[in-house]
């Protein structure tokens, strides 16, 4: 990692050079051509990012630039900015690239040798092409950020969701267009952006305005850092603070899930159960399996049955299958109860007769449908 200190620190990841070299080889078709392309990419990306960074500094932000595998990234911290200022910061990146293309075009009017003329032409074409593509209203491109800022500024969280859906649709259509003209690399990237935007839109349907608060996001990150350091008490305080400030939404769901595991560790199972129950529609994976287990302990058979298939899909083990069998048996549903016993048996035999003595099976134990599942295991 190369780090260049200064008022606007710059860090360059090794993968930046690798990706630039690959693009250079694809276009330059020689070592010398590759080196020229690496230089063009480096200068172009850096100028673009300085367009963002210098504007951010003008708005009293502390900016830094990172050159990473797929381009550049400018981040900044400081007083909260109004939407129009955020818009200008984002827009000035592509504007700087267009300015570089215009400068190259102006220099081409002077007398140059074949090499100089070729390099300036590449500078002009590359910056103009990338600036235009980068202004497509597709996240994470700058055009997508501009669309997000504009719609969110006017319509709040609904505008944010709309920008994701619009971006996904446009990215899919433009990706298809690039595939048609056999520009497969750009088409693949845009297809990936389309998928990411659609997935983000799907998840954002449960978001609230509090999810856009940077301070709350920072608290979540600080809580996770404390967990990594082993300070569970400090993490609990931060996550509980997030829940007080954001009673609903994605951030609240994230805080609730982490808190639930911490509560279980400290013996507060009832608190964990209530937390997860409140954010059930957000849950998947391990938090959902935890709610499934806590619901079984609480005797909430209807919830265990509701979560049975999804939990088993994520955690296909004997314990989950047995919990499902008991719940369906108490709900007097003999067929699914017997089916889940068969699923449990697939993970290793157990004392079936003793398991069936559990009071949960009292109402289905002699049911013919249930017995058919059980007897098949004894053959």
What is the rounded CA–CA span in Å between residue 207 and residue 177?
32
**Phi, psi (deg, nearest 5) at residue 40:** -65, -45
What is the rounded CA–CA span in Å between residue 148 and residue 136?
12
β-bridge partners, 3: 11
Which pLDDT score, from 0 to 100, does residue 199 have? 86
Which pLDDT score, from 0 to 100, does residue 6 have? 87
Residue ranges per domain, the chain?
A: 1-133, 136-205, 206-282, 284-379
Distances (CA, A) of 108 to 42, 339, 376: 20, 76, 84
Which pLDDT score, from 0 to 100, does residue 211 have? 65
> What string of pLDDT tens digits covers the 379 residues of the chain?
788 888 999 999 989 988 888 888 888 778 888 899 999 999 999 999 999 999 999 999 999 999 988 788 999 988 888 899 999 999 999 999 999 999 999 999 888 888 889 889 988 999 999 999 899 999 889 999 999 999 988 888 888 889 999 999 999 999 999 999 888 878 888 899 999 999 888 877 766 676 677 788 888 889 898 988 899 999 999 999 888 887 777 888 889 999 999 999 999 999 999 999 988 988 889 999 999 999 999 999 999 999 999 999 999 999 999 999 999 999 999 999 999 999 999 998 888 889 999 999 998 988 998 988 888 887 6
- The half-sphere exposure of 360 on its side-chain side, counting CA atoms within 13 A, is 24
Dig out the tokens for 269 from the structure: 């199972």
Domain 206-282: CATH architecture, name and number where available:
Alpha Horseshoe (1.25)
319-357 burial, b at 16+ Cβ within 10 Å, e below that, comes to: ebbbbbbbbbbbbebbebbbbbbebbbeeeeeeeeebbe
C-alpha torsion sign, points 296, 300, 305, 309? negative
Cβ-contact 322, 348 below 8 angstroms = no
Which pLDDT score, from 0 to 100, does residue 379 have? 65
Cβ-contact 109, 90 below 8 angstroms = no
Runs of H (alpha helix) within 315-365: 318-330, 334-345, 352-356
Provide the whole-model pTM. 0.68
Dig out the tokens for 72 from the structure: 């550049």
End-to-end Cα spacing for the chain: 64
């Amino acid at each position: 990692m190369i780090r260049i200190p200064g008022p606007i620190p710059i860090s360059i990841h090794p993968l930046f050079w690798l990706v630039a070299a690959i693009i250079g080889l694809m276009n330059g078709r020689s070592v010398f051509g590759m080196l020229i392309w690496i230089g063009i990419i480096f200068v172009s990306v850096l100028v673009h990012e300085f367009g963002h960074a210098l504007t951010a500094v003008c708005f009293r932000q502390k900016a830094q630039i990172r050159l990473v595998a797929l381009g550049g990234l400018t981040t900044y911290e400081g007083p909260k900015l109004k939407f129009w200022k955020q818009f200008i910061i984002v827009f000035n990146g592509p504007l700087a690239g267009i300015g570089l293309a215009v400068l190259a075009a102006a220099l081409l009017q002077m007398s140059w040798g074949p090499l100089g003329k070729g390099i300036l032409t590449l500078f002009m074409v590359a910056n103009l092409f990338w600036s235009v593509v980068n202004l497509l209203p597709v996240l994470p491109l700058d055009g997508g950020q501009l669309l997000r800022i504009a719609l969110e500024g006017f319509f709040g969280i609904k505008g944010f969701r709309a920008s994701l859906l619009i971006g996904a649709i446009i990215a899919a259509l433009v990706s298809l267009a690039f595939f048609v003209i056999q520009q497969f690399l750009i088409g693949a990237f845009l297809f990936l952006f389309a998928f990411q935007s659609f997935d983000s839109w799907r998840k954002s349907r449960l978001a609230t305005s509090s999810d856009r608060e940077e301070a709350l996001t920072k608290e979540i990150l600080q809580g996770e850092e404390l967990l990594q350091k082993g300070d569970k008490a400090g993490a609990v305080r931060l996550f509980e603070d997030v829940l007080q400030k954001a009673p609903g939404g994605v951030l609240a769901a994230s805080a609730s899930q982490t808190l639930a595991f911490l509560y279980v560790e400290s013996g507060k199972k009832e608190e964990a159960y209530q937390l997860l129950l409140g954010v059930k529609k957000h849950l998947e994976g391990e938090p959902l399996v935890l709610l499934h287990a806590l619901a079984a302990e609480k005797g909430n058979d209807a919830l265990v049955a509701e979560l049975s298939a999804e939990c088993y899909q994520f955690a296909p083990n004997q314990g989950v299958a047995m919990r499902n069998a008991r719940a369906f048996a108490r709900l007097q549903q003999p067929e699914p109860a017997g089916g889940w016993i068969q699923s449990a048996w697939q993970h290793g035999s157990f004392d079936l007769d003793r398991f069936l003595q559990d009071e949960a099976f009292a109402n289905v134990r002699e049911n013919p449908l249930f017995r058919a599942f059980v007897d098949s295991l004894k053959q």
